[in-house]
A and B are shown apart, each in its own frame.
Chain A
Amino acid sequence: MIDADRPILETRSLAKRFSIGTRFSAEGRRTVHAVDNVSLTVRRGETVGLVGESGCGKSTLARCLVRLYDITDGKLLFEGDDITSKSLSELRPLRRRLQMVFQDPSASLNPRRRVGDLVAEPLRIHGKLSAKGITARVAELFELVGLLPDHVMRYPHEFSGGQRQRVGIARAIALNPDLVVLDEPVSALDVSVQAQIVNLLADLQEKLKLTYIFIAHDLSVVRQVSTRIAVMYLGSIVEEGPAEEVFATPAHPYSQALISAVPVVETTPSGTRKRIILTGDVPSPLKPPSGCRFHPRCPIAVERCRSERPELQEHHPGRKVACHFPTLT
């Protein structure tokens, strides 16, 4: 392909702010800086993993990327085309190509409709298929995600969590999308079932040439599925790079703490891994700290970090860090 390197999705200084309260509430009207100055490029066929603690804005960013939220500031480009402020009707043809899978399949599937019907719904809305064509396509999709043909007549509650998530995935890929945003797709599943879904997602990506944006709080799962990782803290990306590299040699002190905190199965009696325990909690995005937003919890913060906010800079090709004192190897 000639435009294999052309980004499929790109954000430029994207920001999402929510305003909460009214002028009558105790603190007055306030602004939550949920996503702040995010510039992210997603190339065709890759999987970008978004990681960070809860409240870091990864889900908000994901919803901005598929325009489920309106974007406050910055630009969002889909195949080079500016879709930041396209109207809903202008967006409709794009929706087919941008799909989303949610965390809790039992919350995202209508309990009163048969799953075959649920998977057929996007086909009816967007497709030009005949009724027969839709039935055939649903059967094909069911096979693709590893469900049995006679499952189409069942209701969501008749399935296990893993199977329900398969239905959610079938729905998302029904229209042959280019990009699928997966927001915590395995977090609600039993441990023994997670690996099945992770494998399914990898197979589908290969078969259908999908591009993924993958959000999960389980870092080992993110590492497994992602080609690239973006670590978020308080609404901004603090580190970005190839998945294995970021995990092996995290450069930002926050990434280091995050990765070191993951409990791993060790057979040796005492832990050999050095653990960095962060003090304090994620500050409120209502009043983000001055300078580097990580400085109140950072073990290596100095005066400069309190006043000057580090930019996300490219240190090696493809490896970006927003820190005045990154650990570079």
Chain B
Amino acid sequence: MILSVRDLRVSFRTHDGPVRAIDGVSFDLGESEILGVVGESGSGKTVSLLAVMGLITDPNATIEGSIRYKGRELVGLPPRELRRLRGNEIAMIFQDPMTALTPVYMIGWQIAEQIRAHRGVSKSKAMERVEQLLAEVNFPNPHEAMSRYPHQLSGGMRQRAVIAMALSCDPALLVADEPTTALDVTVQAGILDLVRKLRAKHKSAVVFITHDMGVVSELADRVMVMYAGRVVERGTRTELFSDPRHPYTRALLGSIPPLTGQKPRRLPAIPGSPPSLLRLPQGCAFGPRCPVHYEPCEASKPGLGSGAHAAACFRVAQA
């Protein structure tokens, strides 16, 4: 097992009271497995992955639970130790490549810096490796690209450079946070293809965060659907898409307009909007928007259960 997260809870102290961004998230990730994490903004998908990376440094944050990487507990690990892992064994790709690259250095230098920091190789050795990496992520002219600055590259190219950087030390775990959201579909298709190939070649485990059900269905082996800080459904890709159980998953899949066939006159929309984490209902957070909600949903939050394909819903548990 590469990554094993148990009952992760993250809360922030704010002016308006405590906010529980993550409320009891657990998942496992095996070697060369792709886990898709789907959810809307505020569902906690990014925060849970930032916690895994040890990147929540806000003094108002409390992190509870257990995050084990190859059996080693990451929660409470000193920053020095974490730094040795990050960028080396655990790498991350962000949504906006511009925030991951510094505008004042050439691409080649930036990627080489990481290799030199973690591997202690000579500058020329590192540069050789950079050229290889850039070729691997399909830069048409890797040698030339090394001496480019980020602003001279297109969005897709920048994201490829960030991916090359993430792969520079052969990470066992790659965390990708909406890496294709800012890109065009044509470029996105190329990046998804790349992630698949790299997984096959490097045997990295990948956690892929997105709000796009289509992307998840193309890429992930297993899927986790999040809503208001909790996992509402998990299962393999086939299980989740051919037999969605949680009303939220069903509604979300139903509200996507089809790309082929008959157009529905109206889309089956989900009423309301995602709840504020400051004012979460006592019971199920999806309750107020749920078409099948009944009394038990008001009183307490449904648990996810332990099955491989599980949904946190009283109706499902009852059925």
Contacts from A to B (Cβ < 8 Å): 53-54, 160-163, 190-196, 198-199, 202, 217, 219-221, 223-224, 244, 247-248, 257-267, 269, 271, 275, 277-282
Contacts and interface: CB of A to CB of B under 8 A. Distances in A.
Nearest to B253: A265
Which of B185, B186, B251, B289 has most chain A Cβ within 10 Å? Answer: B186
Nearest to A200: B269
A192 B263 contact: no
B156 A248 contact: no
Contacts of B237: 269
A264 B214 contact: yes
Nearest to B237: A269
4 nearest CB pairs, A to B: A263-B214, A224-B257, A195-B269, A195-B255
21 contacts: A160-B274, A191-B255, A192-B40, A192-B270, A192-B289, A195-B268, A196-B269, A198-B269, A199-B267, A199-B269, A217-B185, A220-B256, A220-B259, A224-B264, A258-B186, A263-B212, A266-B241, A275-B189, A275-B193, A278-B190, A281-B156
A199 B259 contact: no
B47 interface: no
A121 to B, nearest CB: 25
Given A196-B271, A220-B259, A223-B259, A264 B252 contact: no
Contacts of B95: none
Contacts, number: 131
Contact of A202 (B156, B242, B266): B266
Given A191-B255, A217-B185, A281-B156, A263 B217 contact: yes
B241 A224 contact: no
Interface in B195-215: 211-215
A224 B259 CA distance: 8
B82 interface: no
A247 B215 CA distance: 19
Interface in B115-174: 140, 154-157
Given A258-B186, A265-B253, 11 more contacts: A162-B273, A163-B273, A190-B273, A192-B252, A198-B269, A219-B185, A224-B258, A259-B259, A261-B189, A265-B214, A267-B242
Given A54-B184, A162-B273, A224-B263, A265 B40 contact: no
Interface string B255-294: 1111110011111111101100000000000000100000
Interface in B209-231: 211-215, 217-218
B267 A198 contact: yes
Contact of B257 (A163, A193, A223): A223
B188 interface: yes
A265 B255 CA distance: 12
A242 to B, nearest CB: 11
Contact of A266 (B40, B41, B186, B218): B218
A257 B251 CA distance: 29
A111 to B, nearest CB: 18
B266 A247 contact: no
A243 to B, nearest CB: 8
Contacts of A195: 255, 257, 267-270
A198 B217 contact: no
Given A160-B273, A224-B263, A258-B186, A265 B156 contact: no
Contacts of A202: 265-266
Nearest to A280: B140
A263 B218 contact: yes
B75 interface: no
B192 interface: yes
Given A195-B268, A258-B185, A264 B259 contact: yes
Nearest to A202: B266
Contacts of B154: 281-282
Contacts of B157: 281
A265 B256 contact: yes
A267 B270 contact: no
Contacts of A224: 257-258, 263-264, 267
A271 B259 contact: no
Contacts of A198: 257, 267, 269
B139 to A, nearest CB: 11
B186 A278 contact: yes
B187 interface: yes
A259 B266 CA distance: 22
A249 B264 CA distance: 19
Nearest to B155: A54
Nearest to B140: A280
